Amino acid sequence: MNRAETVVSAMLDAIRGVIVEHDVTYEEYAIAKQWLMDVGEAGEWPLFLDVFVETTVERNAFRGRAGSAGTILGPYHLPDAPVLDAPFELPRRPDEQGEPLTLSGRVTDAEGTPLAGAVLDVWHADAEGFYSGFHPDLPPGIFRGKVIADAEGRYEVNTILPAPYTIPHEGPTGAMVAACEWHPWRPAHIHLIVDAPGHEPLITQLFFEGSDYLDGDVAGAVKEDLVVRPVGGRVEYDFALAPA
Ligand code: MBD
Ligand code: FE
């Protein structure tokens, strides 16, 4: 069996097994078929997969990797965010709401040697939980940008505390969550991709102690090492990158 056949037949067997075990009816099959088409039509496959599947791929792929903990990329990364100038501040609107937050620390290799000039691609939701580039109310580019570490690997970026994020409830993904009587929330988080030449890019997120939904992230992406505690609007966090 080639790789495609191995994985595809295992997935189909799993689906067929559920149908038999739970006596799935023709009516339920029709509902599921329509729902799958609706997810595609609504453009929600990236959302659905990153919320319900990516964490398993991530934990499996990076088990035992050296350096800081990573977590899922999610559906809202835009690769072309600009490189910002020091002093680093993520783009915001003049009247931006939200508590100020300064994130700083060091980027090193897995042995603690500083990585001068490391790049931190940072993105997060606004104080209402919306992402620029995906929500019509936000101008493009808000709360997205690349920050450069200095000669000692130190970085610092000013932004605001994002709000928890809820999956859109009007769409088929939200309908599935409601049908299952789950909640649709992710705790407040800041996404980062930290990278330096000769190292594996670290895709990660930082979460905030005491914030809602930390224990019930719908995407299951929270790791203990990634929960930080802001003190006086400041958070220190060091990133260690695995060798490439
Ligand atoms: C998000 O903000 C997110 O990070 C993920 C993984 C899924 C949905 C929304
Ligand atoms: Fe997110």
Average confidence (pLDDT) per 10 residues, the chain, 244 residues: 97 98 98 98 98 98 96 98 98 97 98 98 97 95 98 98 93 97 97 98 97 96 98 98 97
Ligand 1: centre distance to CA 218 (Å): 9
Q: Which ligand is nearest to the CA of 167?
A: 1
Does this model's pTM top 0.90?
yes
What atom of ligand 1 comes closest to residue 125's alpha carbon? 2
Ligand 1: centre distance to CA 195 (Å): 21
Identify the CA nearest to 125 among candidates 190, 81, 171, 44: 190
The residue whose CA is least distant from atom 6 of ligand 1 is 74
- Specify the amino acid at residue 225: D
Q: Is 206 in the pocket of ligand 1 (CB under 6 A)?
A: no
Q: Which ligand is nearest to the CA of 72?
A: 1
Contact 115, 108 (CB under 8 A): yes
The residue whose CA is least distant from atom 4 of ligand 1 is 74
Ligand 1: centre distance to CA 159 (Å): 19
What ipTM was estimated for this complex? Answer: 0.96
Q: Is 165 in the pocket of ligand 1 (CB under 6 A)?
A: yes
pLDDT of 169: 85
